[in-house]
Structure 1
Amino acid sequence: MAFSQSEVVVFFRLALLAFLLADSAPRATARSPADMLMRERHGRWMTRHGRTYTDAAEKERRFATFKANVEFIEMFNAGGHKYWLGANQFADLTNEEFRAMIDGLRSSDSRAVGSKSNGFRYEHVTAVPASLDWRTKGAVTPVKDQGSCGCCWAFSAVAAVEGITKIRTGKLISLSEQELVDCDTEGEDQGCDGGYMDDAFEFIVKNGGLTTEANYPYQGTNGTCDAKMAARSRAAATITGYEDVPVNSEAALLKAVTQQPVSVAVDGGSIGFQLYAGGVLTGGCGTELDHAVLAIGYGTDGGDGTKYWLIKNSWGEMWGEKGYMRMERDVEAKEGLCGIAMMASYPNA
């Protein structure tokens, strides 16, 4: 049985309300064994994820949310879906809170008119293997974690540049997201307040390249551009431009991904995204693009033959399949699942 986003929200709110009403009973009433076990579970979860709260009241509120999420996870996982959920680092957030936190993608009027893109060089690609994983070709750096900074756009763009740099030079180099956060601030891109991959590519071209992660390490906050730090090893990665994948075409996106990792935008605010733990994500999300990730391959699930996209995220290795996700491919909607085919682009070497 599949759950719509509205059904999920209704369930969560009812579960939270039930908890709050139960918790408002006289304190003389002993907590049930189930409640004690859930509180112990929450404590272990807090330790694992390094979570602390300002006071007892906040802890109680967060526990209520955690409990509602865990109950939903257990109910969902018993439903025979193609993917499953887990109590990851976002398990003490309501879905509304989560969606507000990950909203780091901005759209751009320039995308609509294609004023900066230079065509689609992979239009005539015909050699499309049955499956592909750019990790096996050494073109993907380890999973990173953007933390609470809304700069998914920078992580997506940097990962795409890391990929094409490996393909072009044979060297896999971890590049600096923080340079984009601090220095690329004149247009749509506004550090932790959101940005846009095409504008990041444009900045890298005008900037003469991007420095390494080691030279300009990630801080997870907006900072002042350090030109001297950014200048170190800037030649480590340069690009000549970028191209947009034709909109609303999973077939075109597939051609591009056969050639290099591709930056894509998705609607990442669903409960399925928030608590995703593994399997092939199917349904449950819309097309309100709010998150940027990297398409690094595709394949077919050996269990039931479901086609999927292989996605690298920037939420650390405790999320999903060690930081990665599989999303259903070739769905009926032209936009692709979660809008994955709506705003894809890649840098040119």
Structure 2
Amino acid sequence: MAFKILPLALVLLRMLAFQSSSRILQEASIQERHEQWMIQYGRVYKDPQEGEKRFNIFKQNVEYIESFNTDGNKPYKLGINQFADLTNEEFTTSRNRFKGYMFSSITRTPSFKYENVTDVPSSVDWREQGAVTPIKNQGECGCCWAFSAVAAIEGIIKLSTGELISLSEQELLDCDTDVDHGCEGGSMNDAFKFIIQNNGINSEANYPYKGIDGTCNANEDNHVATINGYEDVPANSEQALQNAVANHPVSVAIETSGSDFQFYQSGIFTGSCGTKLDHGVTVVGYGVSDDTEYWLVKNSWGIEWGEEGYIRIQRNVDAEEGLCGIAMRASYPTA
């Protein structure tokens, strides 16, 4: 049997045609996935140029997520979520507005009631004690500081009174404006200070969240909870933070820059992050899984992010400030 030998140029042309065909199929697949994603999250783009831009960002993010997940040695996974058509800069700019510099203007409390605690449980989950309200969603308003503070107050009120009440972040946005700046940022300690001076805070039902800065419309007669003070956890001590979390939820600030945080889906987060604190969250527990210690953290990005709105962050790392700076700026209200 005689075999026909194709000229090299023809072979190269056929190879290029095959590669081009593969790319077209891949593009079609990504395009289809993007369209399905748009339907799932109700995303509509104002013009074709914006649509093309968002598609290209989506494609790059999907490629990064899938490449990351092929590494079976990582203890956490990434997923395509509602933020998949945003660059990391767009994502962090619109949501992460913890203002760490504001701590310099706050009189830090000299006391720490759990300083001499020596015996704490090996694991804690305040959700199991009914001290954590369902996951909330701050949307594109940079008021993470309000959600962090409110979650800590909701926990302490439940443990003090036996009643879990969803409290109003919107009241903080609208009324706590002397130092904090609504969607433009703030700090948890200033929120605590405002609530003390304000003689309490409304419920979410009485003063619902709108996700934009508004005019203060609070009525002291409608306040359903109050606190009498707040304390700071000694900085750069995960043990001190554990002592506090063993007793109730605690507000903390962390750095959440980077695509791994944006697309975190499950597992214990051990990714690279620094100490430029930009986001307020609430530690509602801690534990151990597969010999890795972790903090259980309640976020305010909705239930479709992370583990139904939560993230587990590696605990007791070599750096004294903790992973992502979680032990640098921790505080809690007292009731």
Tell me if both proteins adopt one fold, taking TM over 0.5 as the criterion. Answer: yes
Q: Once the 2 structures are TM-superposed, how far is the Cα of residue 227 of structure 1 from its aligned partner?
A: 3.0
Q: Name the amino acid aligned to 2:299.
A: N
Contact preservation (8 Å) 1:102, 1:269: no
For the aligned residue pairs, the C-alpha RMSD in angstroms reads 1.5
Q: Which residue, out of 108, 111, 116, partners 1:119?
A: 111
Kindly report which structure 2 residues correspond to 1:111-150, keeping only aligned pairs within 5 A, or say none.
Answer: 111-112=103-104, 115-150=107-142
- 1:180 is paired with a residue of what secondary structure? helix
- 1:35 corresponds to 2:24: no
- 1:316 corresponds to 2:305: no
Question: Structure 2 regions of 5+ residues with no counterpart?
Answer: 1-20
Partner of 1:292: 280
Q: Name the amino acid aligned to 1:227.
A: A
Q: Which residue, out of 297, 310, 331, partners 2:317?
A: 331
- 1:305 corresponds to 2:297: no
Overall identity of the aligned pairs, in %: 58
Q: Once the 2 structures are TM-superposed, how far is the Cα of residue 31 of structure 1 from its aligned partner?
A: 7.2
Q: Name the amino acid aligned to 2:281.
A: V
- 1:92 is paired with a residue of what secondary structure? coil
Contact preservation (8 Å) 2:202, 2:218: no
Contact preservation (8 Å) 1:202, 1:241: yes
Deviation digits for residues 302-346 of structure 1, max 9, x if unmatched?
xx3110000000000000000000000000011100000010000
- 1:333 is paired with a residue of what secondary structure? coil
Q: Once the 2 structures are TM-superposed, how far is the Cα of residue 101 of structure 1 from its aligned partner?
A: 1.8
Contact preservation (8 Å) 2:112, 2:231: yes
Q: Name the amino acid aligned to 2:92.
A: R
- 1:160 corresponds to 2:152: yes
Report the Cα distance in structure 2 between the residues aligned to 1:165 and 1:233, rounded to whole angstroms: 16
Q: Name the amino acid aligned to 2:188.
A: M
- 1:233 corresponds to 2:217: no
Greater CA drift, 30-39 or 98-107: 30-39
Deviation digits for residues 230-253 of structure 1, max 9, x if unmatched?
x3430x211001000000110100
Report the Cα distance in structure 2 between the residues aligned to 1:183 and 1:108, rounded to whole angstroms: 21
Greater CA drift, 206-215 or 125-134: 125-134
Q: Which residue, out of 258, 261, 276, partners 2:246?
A: 258
Report the Cα distance in structure 2 between the residues aligned to 1:254 and 1:347, rounded to whole angstroms: 16
Q: Once the 2 structures are TM-superposed, how far is the Cα of residue 272 of structure 1 from its aligned partner?
A: 1.2
Q: Once the 2 structures are TM-superposed, how far is the Cα of residue 56 of structure 1 from its aligned partner?
A: 1.0
Deviation digits for residues 104-155 of structure 1, max 9, x if unmatched?
111245x358624251111111221111100000000000000000000000
Report the Cα distance in structure 2 between the residues aligned to 1:342 and 1:76, rounded to whole angstroms: 29
Q: Name the amino acid aligned to 1:305.
A: D
Q: Name the amino acid aligned to 2:295.
A: W
Q: Which residue, out of 173, 176, 198, partners 1:184?
A: 176
Question: Structure 1 regions of 5+ residues with no counterpart?
Answer: 1-28
Bigger-Rg structure (1/2) = 2
The structure-2 alpha-carbon separation of the partners of 1:248 and 1:113, relative to structure 1 and needing over 3 Å to count, comes to farther
Q: Which residue, out of 178, 197, 215, partners 1:206?
A: 197
Deviation digits for residues 264-288 of structure 1, max 9, x if unmatched?
0000112111000000000311111
Report the Cα distance in structure 1 between the residues aligned to 2:106 and 2:51, rounded to whole angstroms: 48
Partner of 1:242: 230
Q: Which residue, out of 259, 265, 268, partners 1:271?
A: 259
Report the Cα distance in structure 1 between the residues aligned to 2:62 and 2:271, rounded to whole angstroms: 20
Report the Cα distance in structure 2 between the residues aligned to 1:116 and 1:82, rounded to whole angstroms: 37
Q: Name the amino acid aligned to 2:95.
A: I
- 2:202 is paired with a residue of what secondary structure? coil
What is the total number of aligned residue pairs between the two structures? Answer: 314
Q: Name the amino acid aligned to 1:241.
A: G
